[in-house]
Amino acid sequence: MKRWLWLITAGLIVGVALASFVSQDPGYALLQVAGYRLETSMVALALAAVGLFIVMRLVGRLVRITVGVVPGFGRWLGKRKEEQNLELIHSSLDDALSENTVGLASKVGKLEKSSWQSESRANQLRQWLLLRQVRASQKPNQLNKLWSKAAASDKADGTLRVEYVSQLYELGATNDVDLMLLETAESTWHDALNGVLAVHQPKNAEQLAERLTRLSATSKDGAASLALTLLKAHSLTGDAGDQLLIDSHKTQASEHITKALGARRLRKLA
């Protein structure tokens, strides 16, 4: 306690002495920078320096507080984002397990942007969803609208294209089926498309046969050649078409030929 009294007393004495000294001669200071001049007393200059020092200390303390808070806030944001991604994944998994394609479709955009999603996984998810949407379509317009919005890479995928054409046939959109078969035969042919061709006779059979003939000359899997056999059988009436299919089946057995024979027998009985 006595120590504080001595300090206060000493401070008062020093303050009185300085005040007495300053009152007699406050001093003079001249600052000149870049053509600007500032004239002031030494007392004012000293007070300004003390004030500037205090302000700099306050600013420094504020910066330290801010720097200390930002990393913590960043960690909180990162953790929150991970929690949101996890909730999104769980919700999407529930939609997939319950075949809720509408709910999953609304989440695909967010899933593609999430940190867990790689480009290849995003493509797989998009194609998986498109495949189920195609199978679930109940009207040709709905199916065509869905296909028109699909990515070019998805439209080029053989499995998806076969599913799309097959669903078009199931929904009775035969004109669209003819166009898709002709478009596909421009560059490639998938054996699964012969499943449609086994029961469907295209109106543009001659154009389709021309393109399939070009493909069969270079294709090694025989899918285009089988398609030509099915088209030729469609053009034959009576037992001639059946015999062509039977002979072809003896040469190379195919479920599509069996399917075509069954369809022809059913039409005869109808």
DSSP string, 27-67: --EEEEETTEEEEE-HHHHHHHHHHHHHHHHHHHHHHHHHH
Q: Around Cβ 23, how many Cβ atoms within 10 Å? A: 9
- Rounded CA gap, 137 and 246, in Å? 35
Instruction: Calculate what percentage of the chain has a pLDDT beyond 90.
Output: 35
Instruction: Please give the average per-residue pLDDT across 166-194, as a whole number.
Output: 93
Distance of CA 53 to the CA centre of its chain: 54
In 3D, which of 234, 235, 229, 236 has the Cα closest to residue 253?
229
Tell the residue number behind the tokens 């949407």, with chain if given: 133
pLDDT digits (tens, 9 = 90+) for 94-152: 666 667 777 767 666 676 666 656 677 777 888 888 888 898 899 999 999 999 999 88
Residue of higher predicted confidence among 268 and 191 = 191
Rounded to an integer, what distance in angstroms lies between the CA atom of residue 112 and that of residue 136?
A: 23
- Domain boundaries along the sequence of the chain: 109-172, 173-270
In the predicted model, is pLDDT for residue 10 greater than 80? no
pTM for the complete prediction? 0.62
Tokens of 51: 């004030």
pLDDT digits (tens, 9 = 90+) for 181-225: 999 999 899 999 999 999 999 999 999 999 999 999 888 888 999
Under the banding of pLDDT at 50, 70 and 90, the label for residue 173 is very high
The 8 Å CB, 24+ separation contacts for 170-174 are 171/137, 171/138, 171/139, 171/140, 171/143, 172/140, 173/140, 173/143, 173/144, 174/200, 174/203
Cα separation, 228 vs 257, whole angstroms: 12
Q: How far is CA 199 from the centre of its chain?
A: 38
> Do residues 244 and 236 make contact, with C-beta atoms less than 8 angstroms apart?
yes
Per-residue pLDDT, 121: 75
In this predicted model, what pLDDT tens digit does every residue of 22-70 receive, in sequence order?
555 566 666 666 667 766 666 666 666 767 777 887 777 776 666 555 5
H-helix or E-strand containing 156?
Answer: helix 152-156
Q: Report the pLDDT averaged over residues 71-93.
A: 67
Please give the Cα distance from 201 to 98 (Å, whole number): 37
Per-residue pLDDT at 226 exceeds 80? yes
pLDDT at residue 22, rounded to an integer: 52
Tell me: pLDDT of 71 over 60: no
